[in-house]
Amino acid sequence: MEKHLSVSSFFHAVYLVDFSPSLCQVARTRFARLGWKNVKVVCQDARTFKLSDYEEGHTDESAVFSIGKSALDESSAADNVGADLLTMSYSLSMIPEFHPVVDSLANLLAPNGVMGVVDFYVQNQIQFQSRNYVGGVIDRHCMWISRIFWAAWFEMDRVFLDSSRRVSACQPYSSAVTYSCRTIWSTSSEQS
């Protein structure tokens, strides 16, 4: 990120959420060394992370747990505080229970926020055909050997490449830019 923007001055705040204490410690040491005071490392289960718990301006009303609310009903479900940019980098495939996390994305994002996701995946073309909102399908289809092999291979490290993860994280939103390439995919979705 520093290659494109000055992280310490461009952003009001950056929240880094991870459930691994050792990784969080590595990150904290790094940001302390860089002197980036606006980057906050939160060691927390992503299923329960809420921005308003950390940002000022939250009220009792908005502190209500976000899960279970319709992402489409903006008036009641939206948090008072929303992130302008939300990224998930090789994390969607590693969170064992991804549904509650995917559900909370809409509430974490500000109304015109941008979401960027990059992760591993395997998919058959049947799983995206006849959908006019996926925005670019070159090389998206994986042949059957690679679908079976890579899914089983990554499973040994508790990383799950199942198609439903990509679909559930990206399908609710319109994709502004999509790019797939062998063994890596990246989808950036814009919510409006």
Partner 1 sequence: MHKLAALDAAVTESPFISALDLQRKSVGGARRGSSSERRSKAYESAIFNLSASLPLPAAWYQQHHWRIYYDEQLQKHKQFGDEYIYAFTWEDARVDARLLKITSEDVVLAITSAGDNILAYALEQPKRIHAVDLNPNQNHLLELKVAAFTALGYTDVWKLFGQGKHDDFRSLLINHLSPHLSSQAFDYWLHKGNATFGEKSRGLYYTGGSRHAIQLVQWLGRLLGIRADLAAMCSAATLNEQREIWSKRVRRVLLSQFLNYTVIGTEKFLWKALGVPANQRAMIDADYLHQTDPKSKVSGVKSGQAIWEYAVNTLDPVVNNTLVSEENPYYLICLQGQYTQRCHPEYLAPRSHVKLSKPNAFDGLRIHTDELSEVMARMTPETLTIAVLMDSMDWFDPAGPEADAQVKIVNRALKMGGRVLLRSAGLKPWYVDTFEKRGFVAKRVGARIPPGSCIDR
Among 60, 61, 132, 144, contact with partner 1 (rule: CB under 8 A): 132
Residue type at 38? N
If one asks whether residue 126 binds partner 1 (CB under 8 A), the answer comes out as: no
- What number of residues does the chain have? 192
Q: How far is the CB of 45 from partner 1 (least distance, A)?
A: 28
Q: Which positions from 79 through 108 interact with partner 1, judged by CB under 8 A?
A: none
If one asks whether residue 121 binds partner 1 (CB under 8 A), the answer comes out as: no
Q: How far is the CB of 185 from partner 1 (least distance, A)?
A: 11
Q: What angle do CA 170, 173, 179 make, to 5 degrees?
A: 50
- If the CB atoms of residues 25 and 112 are measured against partner 1, the closer one turns out to be 112
Task: Specify whether the CB–CB gap between 147 and 162 falls below 8 A.
Answer: no
Q: Give CA–CA dist 158/110, Å, rounded.
A: 31
If one asks whether residue 178 binds partner 1 (CB under 8 A), the answer comes out as: yes
Q: Where are the alpha helices (DSSP H) in 50-188?
A: 74-77, 99-108, 144-155, 163-170
- The residues that touch partner 1, with contacts defined as CB under 8 A, are 4, 72, 129-139, 171-179, 181, 190, 192
